[in-house]
Structure 1
């Protein structure tokens, strides 16, 4: 209920007539508290101010007769709430008077700031929050994070507090890292290689070394300020790039019988439509059961150049310049498919 409505209810309750014959009649003192109605006109100015005394809107005027009950105006000022009332009486008591309503600015929604390691994709430090009165200005500054350098930010660094929360993201990089590459690949170990917990480390708790000829998948490549380059083969597992060489990873793929390569293998000139999950993509393969090569999208029309059946009677099609795809992911073949 609005504060003015509550005040009206309270005043009306105080002014209500006795409800039964058992009620006590007003005393002489009580009657004296109520000004006699003498038909003299009265005017009250209602001022709406903030905590600094600034007028928030033009004053309201309440006209009446001395002795009449005062009815406050129903006022709502966007972004403010009422905190104090001065000069309020139950009745008009003088030809001229004033009531002062003091308002406080409502608090806006918070502005959150997060610090992220852009390479490791994780938070570095606790989120911070700033908050202030609606409509007032804010400014977010990047926190200092030991061992990291700021790269960029996303979000409004300055603005005003509103009824909607805001977010600012700050992205950092390890200060000893010059450049990173997030592409994946395979490396083959050339010499006995120790595994380290981070790039540039000189000591390690990993008891096992990597043996020459072994192949590992890499997930990130980092060049340090000292011009050395490191690759990661797992969480907190780094090796110097100087001790490896790039490879295609074929050593990791099980060798398949050659029968499927030649059995029921034919060159074709067909088109087909990819049938997978609506809006999703399905992988193609460098060779049947081999490494992923690329992706094709559900509903996409593709050109087929080869058809084969493996030892398990699984039909495969070669897509023009895009690798192999199991036949179960193709429909609307033109010309139609045929049976072996």
Structure 2
């Protein structure tokens, strides 16, 4: 409903003799006027309509309504972006005197929230509950980093200051365990040198894991962490950590799948092509150091890659070598250009 329609409804409400519920917007009338108290006497009349915020500041140039005493007032259609009307003072249906005024008071609408998240950059998980900042449209905000016990702040992503708008915003704060000095997410293999206990986190001195790792066994690692006390720990699973002094690095060749007994590249040729990776939307697929060999890196679904070599083994499997990215099975490539 427009402001004009709302005001007309309010004016009709003023003429009722009952005490029926009125609009949520409060109205203060200068005098009752259930009927026109004056006949039109052709005396010029002017009403100023003021638009004020809650602090009494003008938020729009006043409107002027001209007429003659005794005539019906025709209010302007008013709509102020970012505000809604909360109070009307001095409203009458008729021009009752040569000069008068109506005061419309507005309140700012609420802006969309600013969401703040604290994130463990190494464990890749939220730490603590999200925080929501709220305020009125156009008013300023300033986001502060949450204090998270046991963690140190690294950096933030998002606008720390700004104004509340009609669009919600997000600010991410990235933290690291305060005892962690350096992390390495690259994977590899370690071989156990002595009977080794498994701990729930780096630097732990007690554990609930009853089984110890046997000398000579080999494990894949998922993260390496150097602590502030200069010790290094390896993750071999979720909440499963072992200290560096009990292991030695290894290539893990014995754990890798062996090439098929009859594997042999039947055809191998240099190519100059591009292709589009086709795997699962939003996911990555591994490339290999050599066909059927160790993982080298990953490529994104939908990514355009440069192909420099094509080969097929005696099982009929086609492989392509990506420039600087290793080998990828041909079934993960589409839109070859040129198509040969």
- TM class by smaller structure: 0.7 to 0.9
Q: How does 1:73-88 map to 2 (within 5 A)?
A: 73-88=76-91
Q: How does 1:14-163 map to 2 (within 5 A)?
A: 34-163=37-166
SS in 1 for 2:262: helix
Moved more, 135-144 or 274-283: 274-283
Distance 1:206 1:278, change over 3 A: closer
Distance 1:51 1:326, change over 3 A: closer
Report the Cα distance in structure 2 between the residues aligned to 1:227 and 1:30, rounded to whole angstroms: 86
Distance 1:286 1:43, change over 3 A: closer
Q: Which has the larger radius of gyration?
A: 1
1:287 CA drift (Å) = 4.9
SS in 2 for 1:60: strand
1:254 CA drift (Å) = 4.2
Give the aligned partner of residue 222 of structure 1.
225
Give the aligned partner of residue 170 of structure 1.
173
Query: Cα deviation per residue 1:48-92 (whole Å; 9 max; x = unaligned)?
Result: 111111111221111111111111111111211111000001111
Q: Is the 8 A contact 1:142 1:170 kept in 2?
A: yes
Q: How does 1:255-270 map to 2 (within 5 A)?
A: 255=258, 259-261=261-263, 268-270=268-270
Report the Cα distance in structure 1 between the residues aligned to 2:33 and 2:62, rounded to whole angstroms: 32
Report the Cα distance in structure 2 between the residues aligned to 1:6 and 1:303, rounded to whole angstroms: 74
Q: Is the 8 A contact 2:278 2:332 kept in 1?
A: no
Query: Cα deviation per residue 1:131-160 (whole Å; 9 max; x = unaligned)?
Result: 111111111111111000111111111111
SS in 1 for 2:176: strand
Report the Cα distance in structure 1 between the residues aligned to 2:75 and 2:217, rounded to whole angstroms: 86
1:121 CA drift (Å) = 0.6
Q: Is the 8 A contact 2:67 2:95 kept in 1?
A: yes
Q: Is the 8 A contact 1:109 1:161 kept in 2?
A: yes
Q: Is the 8 A contact 2:153 2:175 kept in 1?
A: yes
SS in 2 for 1:7: helix
1:285 CA drift (Å) = 3.8
Give the aligned partner of residue 291 of structure 1.
294
1:7 CA drift (Å) = 2.5
Report the Cα distance in structure 2 between the residues aligned to 1:225 and 1:326, rounded to whole angstroms: 43
Give the aligned partner of residue 184 of structure 1.
187
The RMSD of aligned alpha carbons is: 3.3
**Which of these residues, 301, 322, 329, is aligned with residue 307 of structure 2?**
301
Q: Is the 8 A contact 1:192 1:212 kept in 2?
A: yes
TM-score, length of structure 1 as denominator length: 0.81
1:252 aligns with 2:258: no
Report the Cα distance in structure 1 between the residues aligned to 2:39 and 2:110, rounded to whole angstroms: 45
TM-score, length of structure 2 as denominator length: 0.81
Q: Is the 8 A contact 1:135 1:161 kept in 2?
A: yes
Moved more, 147-156 or 33-42: 33-42
SS in 2 for 1:210: coil
Give the aligned partner of residue 271 of structure 2.
271
Give the aligned partner of residue 242 of structure 1.
245
Q: Is the 8 A contact 1:134 1:162 kept in 2?
A: yes
Report the Cα distance in structure 2 between the residues aligned to 1:138 and 1:273, rounded to whole angstroms: 51
Moved more, 224-233 or 314-323: 314-323
**Number of aligned pairs?**
315
Give the aligned partner of residue 2 of structure 1.
2
1:268 CA drift (Å) = 4.6
1:273 CA drift (Å) = 5.1
